[in-house]
Amino acid sequence: MTTRYTKDHEWVRLDGDIATIGISTYAAEQLGDVVYAELPAVGKSVKQGDDLAVVESAKTASDVYAPISGDVVEGNAAIAGENWQIINDEPQAGGWFVKLKVADKSEIEALMDEAAYADYVKGL
């Protein structure tokens, strides 16, 4: 399973027609300690680029945008249970935000792969 990235630092990983979405390690480092996060309700339909979730550090509030279109099928129970530390500890694993049932897989192909994202972050 390959991971793809957006310019807004979301990552997305596809397994069958279910995509797992989170924020990148770079984004989590930039944000600092997460003090609040808000997930969408299961069943919500989002289009690529829509507001998907909110993540806040002591410093700032950031929107997490939907990297692709789909329907929310699951939110991370750890985050819903206010274990926000997991977003800092393992942003690209246990700190995932939501799972979407994907509408159009081609949207994923257009996103950056690991190497392209690494280059992108280097240029920031």
Partner 1 sequence: MANAETPKKLPLDAIWRERTSKFGDFAGYDMPLQFEGLIPEHNWTRAHAGLFDVSHMGPSFFALPKGHGLEGEEAHKKVSSLIERLVPADIQGLKPGQVRYTMITNEDGGVLDDLMIARPAEPGAAGDLYIVVNAGCKHQDWALIEAATKGEANLVRADDRCLLALQGPAAHQVAAAVIDPALADMNFMTVKRYDAFGRITVTRSGYTGEDGYEILVRAENATDLANALLAHAEVKPIGLGARDSLRLEAGLCLYGHDLDPTTSPIEADLAWTIQKRRREAKDFPGAKRILREYDLGPARKRVGIRPNDRAPAREGVEIFKDGRQVGIVTSGGFSPVLNAPISIGYVESAYAEPGTGLELMIRGQARAATVTPLPFVPHNYHRPKKGS
Residue ranges binding partner 1 (CB under 8 A) = 32-33, 35-36, 38, 54, 56-59, 61, 82
* Closer residue to partner 1, CB minimum distance, 41 or 115: 41
Closest approach of partner 1 to the CB of residue 25, in Å: 15
CB of 36 to partner 1, least distance (A): 5
SS3 content of the chain, % helix, strand, coil (to 5): 25, 35, 40
**N- to C-terminal Cα separation, the chain:** 27
Provide the minimum distance between the beta carbon of 109 and partner 1 in the complex, in angstroms, as a whole number: 31
Phi/psi-derived region of residue 9, left when phi > 0, alpha when psi is between -120 and 50, beta in every other case: left
